[in-house]
Amino acid sequence: MLNRQAVSARAFGRAAGRSRSSVRVMASAKPLTFSKYQGLGNDFILVDNRHTSEPVVTPEQAVKICDRNFGIGGDGVIFALPPVGDTDLTMRIFNSDGSEPEMCGNGIRCLAKFVSDIDNAAPRKYKIHTLAGLIQPEMLADGQVRVDMGTPILEGPKVPTTLAPTQGSTVVQQDLVVEGKTYKVTCVSMGNPHAVIYSCDGEPIKIDDLDKELAALGPKFERNAVFPARTNTEFVEVISRSHVRMVVWERGAGRTLACGTGACALVVAGILEGRVDRNQVCRVDLPGGPLQIEWRQSDNHIYMTGPAELVFSGQLRA
């Protein structure tokens, strides 16, 4: 694993044979100091932006930074911003396509680890303001990060989706026809929208069979008219009542190796569908590795535990 490696846009430009202007991402001549972190392969460029309330990078610049051929490469750019109210800091994120999601589960683990590292802090809990509300990650002594993700949003219009509710105001195993196949969709928001799918045409999802179709199938769910804010989509295979396997198509990022909010949403959906038990921690195997997810009955909160690791740090020069 690389550590403290300096990176410059000039070097990117020379390597790619492109002009300096084609890789310029900063609005001024001041270099962008960054660190790249990953959580189960879901990778982000982290920026300490606590000196000002607005991100120092624009969405258009974030697209260039996230380019895996001509930029640093990543699924998004995450900013540690000044706190709001009784919090420690604020999180904002620009996806690799320049869109701004409400929150990111793997990203907030990376943010907590990033701030802990640069502040040289002992293991502690952080109160982080996000567009999805208050999220509280906690650095554990073993280096893992446990995140109190709050309560899931289950009312269909608040997810949001226009699919008809099947259980009160909740959309559970509702039919959605895509490319001639009928998928049973359960809709959950973890502050961002998720469509969770355990079965298609009456048969359980098999990840190995679906894997090759994801690049073509994912966008058809993400931009389906029944999801007015677009959606993240998780396809899930049940291994046991406390162990599932998934692949994800993320809104604004496409196929990724992991999605923390998606792992939380699919456990909620699995419990609502009667496929997963609520009285225990569920292991969720993502392409990048496992997360531990618990939907506690005591407070109705979702808890996610998983890793966040530094890949390298450096400066991106104008």
Nearest Cα neighbor of 49 from 74, 25, 83 is: 83
Residue 57 to residues 30, 109, 124, 166, 307, Cα–Cα distance (Å): 12, 21, 29, 43, 26
Place of tokens 């640069």: 118
Runs of H (alpha helix) within 231-290: 260-272
Helix pair 105-118, 260-272: axis angle to 10 deg: 140
Residue 279 to residues 133, 272, 296, 298, Cα–Cα distance (Å): 26, 13, 7, 10
- Identify whether 104 is a catalytic site residue: yes
Residue 191 exposure: Cα atoms within 13 Å on the Cβ side: 23
Catalytic residue among 66, 187, 259, 264: 259
**CA dist., res. 290 & res. 66, Å (int):** 24
Contacts of 24 (CB under 8 A, 6+ apart): 9, 318
Q: Would the CA dihedral through 36, 40, 41, 42 be positive or negative?
A: negative
Catalytic residue among 104, 110, 187, 200: 104
> Are 172 and 194 contacting, i.e. CB atoms less than 8 angstroms apart?
no
- Which positions are annotated as active-site residues? 104, 259
